[in-house]
Structure 1
Amino acid sequence: YSSLNSMNLFEIVHSLKRQFGPEPWTLYKGKHLLCFADNHDVTRAASILTNPNHLPLIYGLAFGMPGIPCLYYGSEWGALGEKSQGDDALRPAFDAPEWNALTDQIAAMAKAHRESEALCYGDFKDVVLTNHQTIFQRRTDAERVLVAINASDAPYTAHFDAGCGQAVDLITGKLHDFGGGSELPPYSVAFWKCEKA
């Protein structure tokens, strides 16, 4: 959780490369493992993070990385819960959903993941990586998606060879042009679907 709390994407992506990268020795290449940010036995992610702006980014990673994303009930609206407070804090009864902006973001990412062959089954390749920004590729023979995350409070412009001129952000439906660099707004996630390359 220390990498998540500081949103050190360098450490997180290096772990993903070791597990799912293109090298033949990676641990889980071709496997579809369950991935989650929190569950019934650990402190909820929203209670661990010191910066609440990082919460949607964690779910951007979960829906963008290899594996089957799993959301623990209540986490879709940022429910809090400390393990030190016992089971009732981790497994509360909610009277009703508490739909909010985070819920909308997670719903859009879940839809994008569900409808994308590359996000469900694609390989993993690191494209751009800093401590606070990452762009990685998920690709199958039929589809290619670039997952872009900016965990900083400042915009970031990434200059890289995208292998295509334009893409559609599967989260927002907006067209993205790679010409002149790709600007990532502060605390943002994008799933850019390129034409086959």
Structure 2
Amino acid sequence: MRWPDHAIWWHVYPLGFTGAEPAARPPGAPPEHRLPRIAGWLDHLVALGCNGLALGPVFASETHGYDTVDHLRVDPRLGDEDDLLRLVEAASSRGVRVLLDGVFNHVGRGFPQFSDVEARGDASPYAGWFVPDGNRDFRTFEGHHKLVVLNHQEPAVADYAVQVMSHWLERGIDGWRLDAAYAAPAEFWRTVTDRVRARFPDAWLVGEVIHGDYAGIVESSGFDSVTQYELWKAIWSSLNDRNFFELAHALTRHDGMLQTFVPQTFLGNHDVTRIASRLEDERHLAHALVILLTNAGVPSIYAGDEFAFHGVKEEREGGDDAIRPAFPGHPDETPGHAAPYHRLHQDLIGVRRRHPWLVRAHTKVATLTNTALSYTVGHGDERLGIVLNLADEPAKADLPAAGWTRIAGDADFHGEGALVPPQGWAIAHP
């Protein structure tokens, strides 16, 4: 197994987490050394059972980090390169891998190469880096005027992406999340990933993909993985609607992806409403976490979700603020620390750690009703059984005949299934 097969990420949005101001510091202003605050949470990450730190944007930008102006410079609101390298070193000393967030689909309007094109037009050596839109401006990302799309047909743009990714891999990071990967041509990504992988064969490269043919995108782009939004949606939607048929369908599709790649799975990230706010019945937080951590994938926990943080994403200026809050200086100062849901994360991540084959496990559904679901996950000779009940009365759940023994949750197992209490769940091994 390669190291990504053992990875469980703790995902942090640094600008929000550290309480950074919403816009870039004035030119020449000294940096604010906020990144060390994240280092103070590394022991929490490890105690949770994770072994990877997935950082959101850390590079110089104009506002939220995805309007990058310099991919080779740490955002002064977070600190400087020494701060980032010390964070990487502190993580490495604990056996924690580090993933950086790279935006190579678009840049902020303050990106120097774009500024040069605005000033000099076709005389700029970077004129080919951007695509005119026919309205005396340049193509932008999904209508956001401040996000100018790079021209992915321009070889120098691919060269730049390779340079940036290699620069930070040389300095000790372990991989890249590639933002808005769905918006750039697969041929561009293949050019980049092949060249990066030639120098850094162990780097893990995951593309942000929302819809589409995940397996086909992986094969054509050279990514190791993509974000599994289809399963994310099916988890909360099936729980809210009390419709496990939707989840069973998604699990079948998820299972098929394993023939090509291992998806990056999650219940939350910096772009979506917090799972505790998304679910209509908070009793189902446990069910969602069980589903995430007993199915195949490289899972991530969005910082704060382990404490059942609330936060609703809104489509407006500043609409992400609620899902990207500042965190206290120390974990034990956080509401929800050591509470049952925090401990459940530790327990279920512990189950996954003791069964590392789950990363590539195949899922077979046994019982399926609107409110009851049972399935087995297996790889080779290894197997676990999972039972879930969303009803307010007990449910019977079948499993293949075996001497099932409960290892987590609350259900009475027998040779061919279990009796699951109201709103209950359990995991068992044969």
TM-score bucket of the superposed structures, by smaller chain: 0.7 to 0.9
Q: Structure 1's 118 and 162: CA in aligned 2 closer, same or farther, altered over 3 A?
A: farther
Q: Which structure has the greater CA radius of gyration?
A: 2
Per-residue deviation, 1:53: 0.7
Per-residue deviation, 1:179: 4.1
Q: In the aligned structure 1, how far is the partner of 2:282 from the partner of 2:309?
A: 12
Q: In the aligned structure 2, how far is the partner of 1:27 from the partner of 1:122?
A: 11
Q: What corresponds to 2:321 in structure 1?
A: 88
Q: In the aligned structure 2, how far is the partner of 1:89 from the partner of 1:79?
A: 10
Q: What corresponds to 1:147 in structure 2?
A: 386
- Deviations along 1:136-195, one digit per CA (max 9) or x if unpaired, are 11112231101111122221122x35221x2232325x896414851111222212111x
Q: What corresponds to 1:162 in structure 2?
A: 400
Compare the two structures and name the one with the higher helix fraction: 2
Q: What corresponds to 2:295 in structure 1?
A: 65
Per-residue deviation, 1:134: 0.9
Q: In the aligned structure 2, how far is the partner of 1:92 from the partner of 1:77?
A: 13
CA RMSD for the aligned pairs?
2.2
1:168 touches 1:193 (CA, 8 Å); kept in 2?
yes
Runs of 4+ that moved beyond 6 A: none
Q: Structure 1's 180 and 37: CA in aligned 2 closer, same or farther, altered over 3 A?
A: closer
Q: Quick one: which amino acid aligns to residue 400 of structure 2?
A: A
Q: Quick one: which amino acid aligns to residue 294 of structure 2?
A: G
Q: Answer with 119-128 or 131-140: which moved more.
A: 119-128
- Deviations along 1:40-63, one digit per CA (max 9) or x if unpaired, are 001111111111111111111101
SS in 2 for 1:126: strand
Q: In the aligned structure 2, how far is the partner of 1:193 from the partner of 1:111?
A: 15
Q: How does 1:82-121 map to 2 (within 5 A)?
A: 82-84=312-314, 86-95=319-328, 96-97=333-334, 98-99=336-337, 100-121=339-360
1:118 touches 1:145 (CA, 8 Å); kept in 2?
no
Q: Quick one: which amino acid aligns to residue 327 of structure 2?
A: F
Q: What corresponds to 1:23 in structure 2?
A: none
Q: Quick one: which amino acid aligns to residue 171 of structure 1?
A: A
2:367 touches 2:399 (CA, 8 Å); kept in 1?
no
Q: What corresponds to 2:426 in structure 1?
A: 190
Q: Quick one: which amino acid aligns to residue 141 of structure 1?
A: G
1:114 touches 1:120 (CA, 8 Å); kept in 2?
no
Q: Structure 1 length normalisation: TM-score?
A: 0.84
Structure 1 residues without counterparts, runs of 5 or longer: 21-25
Matched, 1:6 2:246: no
Q: Quick one: which amino acid aligns to residue 66 of structure 1?
A: A
Q: In the aligned structure 2, how far is the partner of 1:5 from the partner of 1:175?
A: 22
Structure 2 residues without counterparts, runs of 5 or longer: 1-232
Matched, 1:49 2:288: no
